[in-house]
Amino acid sequence: MFYIEDYNLHWRQGFRYNFPLKRKVFSVLKGQIDSRFITILYGQRRTGKTTLFKQLIDFLIESGVRRYDIFYYSFDEGSGSIREVIREYEGRAGNPLMEGRKYIFLDEVQKLENWSSDVKYFYDFYPGLKIFLSGSSSLFIRKGTRESLAGRCVEIKLGTLEFDEFLMFRGLNDLLEETGYHGEALRFEFENFLKRPYVEIVNSAEEEIGSYVSSLLDKVIYIDIPEIFPVDEPPLLARLMAIISSRPGIYLEIQEIAKELGRSRVTISNYLSYLRESLLIHKVYSYSSNLLTSEKKKKRFYPTSTAFCYRYAPGSIELGALVETSFVLQLDARFFYRDSLQREVDIISEQLIPVEIKYRSTIFPKDFRGILAFMRKNDIDRGVLITQDIERTEVIQNKRIYLMPAWKFALRGEEFLREIKSSGQ
């Protein structure tokens, strides 16, 4: 017995899940409804994957889809295999899979050993099925898509809230209408956002944030990861998580940290990999035109949520480090820059534009050293320096550097980088 009725309340006449506020990715998922491909939504816990699925179910019903033609199941709590629960649905609903279009939503599939082969079976033999999957482990999603589902799926990554989404869930959309008049309020809310990048805590008191984040991390570190990976020491995972979250952007040398913690290099390397694949940490490489050189150099590690920093080091992390972490995640940064003279740039964007964070209201000439060094070496003529509240353009040594307040970059950073790349200004 899988109690599938408990997961499918929408089968009741007139029922709605009724989550009115939607994350931006909802429109992307909605665009997948008519696609034959399997749609895979993956991201860390508490980012809203289940809510998005239920919003899609409401949308389908509003669009005229029969309630019993939609099936939802979560393997986070439920038992059984994909084949078993779908067959149970087919029998219980009296709804043969071969008849008409059906919509299947399966949550947290990475908990199942053979999830990808089961999904492949239904995809190949039942062309009328539209399958949506979610997961919290990027490794098992990628492994399944490579081995069984190659050419059959579309992957969509879901991160923590973006700043404009945070404002929406806070009921502050009016601040976005005339941003020029609301700069101070937006700066205040941006700093709030760094502590509260999850829907459930956007309005929470500061003392509630730590317990919320602790419950999230404990579930992943002590339950989820050991279920999937060969972990003998969950406390070591927690220790590594604490090191990275209390010093976001830390340069980690595997051999050094292994010696410090009294573990083998292989163990530390594996455990860092498990944290990455479970979407808890983000690794950034030293920029080089030679990828092999980048691989050999020290990497920087960040938590995948600024809220993790408050869990492990409340009150002791500089605001600038949190802003840097936020933009590394927002841009999904792959590279930073550091030369032999220790001149650094926090982010080298996808457009090869240097982005440096100096979260202050005063900027000094020395703050341009790293960004200018990168621009000269790589023949780049524009860069971005993110500030607390300064907005202007500096031209130094024929290099154009745009100074932009952090709150504004949080709202339109990607768009701005594309604009200055295409304009060549």
The domain that contains 120 carries what CATH number? Answer: 3.40.50.300
- Mean pLDDT along residues 9-38: 97
Q: What is the pLDDT of residue 126?
A: 95
Q: What is the pLDDT of residue 1?
A: 62
Alpha carbon 51 to chain centroid, angstroms: 16
- Does 251 map to a domain? no
- Mean pLDDT along residues 151-161: 93
Could you tell me the CA-to-CA distances from 329 to 4, 72, 162, 311, 350 in Å, in that order? 37, 30, 10, 18, 13
Percentage of the chain lying above the pLDDT 70 cut = 98
State which of 93, 123, 157 marks the end of a domain. Answer: 157
- Does 192 map to a domain? no
Number of domains composing the chain: 2
State which of 114, 139, 157 marks the end of a domain. Answer: 157
| pLDDT of 141 over the 90 cut | no
Q: Model confidence over 287-336: pLDDT tens digits?
A: 987 777 777 788 999 999 999 998 888 778 899 999 999 999 999 999 99
Query: Under 8 Å CB-to-CB from 346, ≥6 apart: which residues?
Result: 249, 324, 327, 328, 336, 355, 356, 357
- Mean pLDDT along residues 204-229: 92
Residues 163, 285, 346, 421, CA torsion sign: negative
Residue-number span of the structural domain to which 88 is assigned? 4-157
Q: What is the pLDDT of residue 373?
A: 97
- Does 298 map to a domain? no
- Mean pLDDT along residues 407-419: 96
- Does 185 map to a domain? no
- Mean pLDDT along residues 74-89: 90
The values of phi and psi at residue 51, to 5°, are -60, -40
- Does 223 map to a domain? no
CA distance 24 to 167: 13
| pLDDT of 33 over the 60 cut | yes
- Does 292 map to a domain? no
State which of 111, 128, 157 marks the end of a domain. Answer: 157
Percentage of the chain lying above the pLDDT 90 cut = 80
- Mean pLDDT along residues 280-291: 91
- Does 149 map to a domain? yes
| pLDDT of 367 over the 90 cut | yes
Residue 424 pLDDT class (50, 70, 90 cuts): low
Ranking 139-143, 218-222, 304-308, 349-353 by mean pLDDT, the lowest is 139-143
Residue 268 pLDDT class (50, 70, 90 cuts): very high
- Does 191 map to a domain? no
| pLDDT of 270 over the 80 cut | yes
Q: What is the pLDDT of residue 206?
A: 87
| pLDDT of 238 over the 80 cut | yes
